[in-house]
Amino acid sequence: FQVLLVTTGEMFTIGQVYPEMQVWQLKEAVELEVGIPSNLQRLSYLDEGDMHEDSDLRHNDIVQGGTIKLKVWSQWQNLVEAAAEGDIEKVFQLGVTPDTKFQSPTSDYMGPRQRRAWFAERAAVALFIASNRGHLDLMHSLMEEGADVNATTPSGRTALHAAAARGRGECVDILLEKGARINAADREGKTALTIAADSNHKKTERHLFLFQWQVRITWGRSSWLYYTE
């Protein structure tokens, strides 16, 4: 199946799709390939109506080789587009730090804690997309301003999962250096290492494996010292 990201005009191929696959499962597959969290996605086929989360592809009359349109909710559209393009200046104009002047129709009604959480979520989304697309400079800028490298999408995926899915070795290394949890698992129990292996990104898989091995060795030595003191 082909997925057209309407906001950028990009086309993506989604593999391992089957007629009984439910739309929410398709969204999770799209999340890794396109780099857009599933809760921001709106999928449609032929007409402009959104496909229901619990319906399957057969129910929506999607034929093999068909093109599914991917839109994002309007309040996220500009940020998604800027992050996908790696446009640092524009991303930071669109509300990823608390000191921004960016507002939305609902932000004026938020209390201080809600606003902080809102900005943190927007920064995490931008980091997820940048990691998937390989925009190193944008990643650095977001993390320098406090973007949470271990923030998760509703499916339990982090920016490390997003980078591993596309074989972005440099992005993986940067995220690990900044404290990304290598053993973080999504709701299917898959870590970034598992996803890299599933996606046949051998070099990235090796990066993750070696880092995981080093962590285990270091932890083992620390534990040994603790118990022998």
Looking at residue 219, its pLDDT comes to 55
With a cut of 80, say whether residue 75 has pLDDT above it. yes
Task: Write out pLDDT tens, residues 1-35.
Answer: 899 999 899 999 998 888 899 999 999 999 999 99
Give the pLDDT confidence score for residue 220 in this predicted structure: 52
Q: Does the pLDDT of residue 139 top 70, yes or no?
A: yes
199-219 pLDDT per residue, tens: 999 999 998 988 888 877 765
Which one is predicted more confidently, 26 or 66? 26
Average pLDDT, the chain: 90
Extract the tokens encoding 44: 């449609």
Confidence of residue 62 (pLDDT cuts 50, 70, 90): confident
Q: Can you say whether the dihedral through the CA atoms of 118, 143, 34, 183 is positive or negative?
A: negative
> Which CATH code of 3.40.50.2000, 3.40.720.10, 3.10.20.90, 3.40.50.460 fits the domain covering 1-72?
3.10.20.90
The predicted pLDDT at position 218 comes to 67
